[in-house]
Amino acid sequence: MCEHCEVQAELDELGLCPRCRSMETIRELYERRRDWSPEWEAHLRRLAQRAKARLPLFEQPRKERDG
């Protein structure tokens, strides 16, 4: 089960599914997990919950688009 989005999938050495692994931002998060700290673990847990709720991983500024 994927560490991040909790789907059943073939996982890489970070425990991520192909979809999460293909997202550079997610992959970086879990690569940094090797330098484990309680704060980082809590941060990851919050992000994983956002992923499960299908929210964007990070707040993104809205771009104005014409037309």
Distance of CA 21 to the CA centre of its chain: 9
CA atoms within 13 A on the CB side of 22: 3
Indicate if the alpha-carbon torsion angle 39, 37, 29, 42 is positive or negative.
negative
Under the binding rule (CB under 5 A), the answer on residue 23 touching Zn ion is no
Window of 19-27, 31-39, 42-50, 56-64 that interacts with Zn ion by CB under 5 A: 19-27
Out of 20, 29, 44, 48, name the contact with Zn ion by CB under 5 A: 20
Taking the complex as a whole, the smallest distance from the CB of residue 37 to Zn ion amounts, in Å, to 22
Closest CB to Zn ion among residues 8, 66? 8
